[in-house]
Chains A and B, each alone.
Chain A
Amino acid sequence: DAGITQSPRHKVTETGTPVTLRCHQTENHRYMYWYRQDPGHGLRLIHYSYGVKDTDKGEVSDGYSVSRSKTEDFLLTLESATSSQTSVYFCAISESGLTDTQYFGPGTRLTVL
């Protein structure tokens, strides 16, 4: 498995609180992605990064922000968590983008009460 860790692995929080999820990689890959997985929807892209401080929105970015200050770390922040953001969040990395394999982290299960 590629060197990708996510923290925390599980989190329960309350509506309206900010939450930050961390993705850390040891592969020095340029591209990093945040997906959410919900039953019946597969995985949907939230935000992605194509380099340090270079980020852009994905398909379901409302209510989320990201930051990447170092190659190895990609942070996902839920500015004010809502129950609709209860999901499993996966981070992924890719060396060169487009036709390249993506390697996924173990996921973070987030519950918003």
Chain B
Amino acid sequence: GQQVMQIPQYQHVQEGEDFTTYCNSSTTLSNIQWYKQRPGGHPVFLIQLVKSGEVKKQKRLTFQFGEAKKNSSLHITATQTTDVGTYFCASGTSYGKLTFGQGTILTVHP
């Protein structure tokens, strides 16, 4: 089945530093979704990308979908302590089934 690899598994940053997490697939993806999960919480939808080369921004967060639709990235500029959590990418297929990456756990030191 479809697999989505996500790196890094962990990222520790100082507040104010930038952060990037990457997702890669060996197959072409129809779409990529990004979710954030706060410690002890549930995944919360951030954004969806569907077009080749698509770039979307949400305040300090920038999401990209690769030209070949096989990779995606999430970049956070000037991290804040409120950015702490696990960030997941997920690829959607028929019936809305999601295949998740392993997630990147972000720790922000004040």
Q: Would you call A97 and B96 a contact (CB within 8 A)?
A: yes
Contact with A along B20-43 (1 / 0, CB 8 A): 000000000011010000000111
Q: Would you call A90 and B102 a contact (CB within 8 A)?
A: no
Closest Cβ neighbor of A44 among chain B residues: B100
Given contacts A104-B44, A106-B42, A107-B42, contact A43 B100 (CB under 8 A): yes
- List, in ascending order, chain A residues with CB within 8 A of B48's CB: 99, 101
Contact among A33, A59, A99 for B1, CB-based, below 8 A: A59
Judge if A56 is at the interface, Cβ distance under 8 Å: yes
Q: Would you call A59 and B99 a contact (CB within 8 A)?
A: yes
- List, in ascending order, chain B residues with CB within 8 A of A58's CB: 97
Contact among A31, A42, A107 for B95, CB-based, below 8 A: A31
Within 8 A of B (CB), among A23-56: 31, 33, 35, 40-45, 48, 50, 56
Q: Least Cβ distance of A113 to chain B in Å?
A: 22
Interface residues on B, range: 20 to 34
Within 8 A of A (CB), among B21-80: 30-31, 33, 41-45, 48, 50
Q: Least Cβ distance of B1 to chain A in Å?
A: 7
Closest Cβ neighbor of B100 among chain A residues: A42
Q: Would you call B45 and A103 a contact (CB within 8 A)?
A: yes
Judge if B107 is at the interface, Cβ distance under 8 Å: no
Contact with A along B71-110 (1 / 0, CB 8 A): 0000000000000000010101111111111110000000
Given contacts A45-B98, A59-B1, contact A99 B50 (CB under 8 A): yes
- List, in ascending order, chain A residues with CB within 8 A of B44's CB: 104
Q: Would you call B96 and A90 a contact (CB within 8 A)?
A: no
Q: Would you call A90 and B97 a contact (CB within 8 A)?
A: no
